[in-house]
Structure 1
């Protein structure tokens, strides 16, 4: 499935949000070697990390397909998606 540029931007935003969640949990819980995490904390962090990785993997596949479909360099599509994803949703 080749996504539109707008869909790619939404995918990027979702991946960014998932990364932010994983980062926030890691910061909140502290380094696991310094302060051991509970099983619940570990499970929550690992779920957030998997979500981020899965979203990012799917995004990368779609960016590659979009670039092939439109005959553009992948790096250009990725840069455009990243730039638009940083803009507020109503401005994108």
Structure 2
């Protein structure tokens, strides 16, 4: 079963990934992504690490799943 990822979480991760690639990830961006992943996982009854894995795969490797 695929994990449903809300658009706002995807956009947060895209922002974080762009910052990572530029060598400029801020603690605020990292904390925002982490907090939102946790919220989504709790709301969905999913493991936080699985939500994060699915999110990173979607943003960093589109089309691989």
Q: Under a length normalisation based on structure 2, what TM-score does the superposition of the two structures give?
A: 0.75
Match of 2:33 in 1: 59
CA RMSD of aligned residues (A): 1.8
By relative contact order (CA 8 Å, sep 6+), the higher-ranking structure is 1
- Find runs of 4+ consecutive structure 1 residues off by over 3 angstroms: none
For this pair of structures, how many residues does the alignment match?
58
Deviations 1:33-63 (A, max 9, x none): xxxxxxxxxxxxxxx45xx321111000000
Q: Which runs of 5+ in 2 are unaligned?
A: none
**How far 1:9 sits from its partner (Å)?**
1.7
Q: Under a length normalisation based on structure 1, what TM-score does the superposition of the two structures give?
A: 0.55
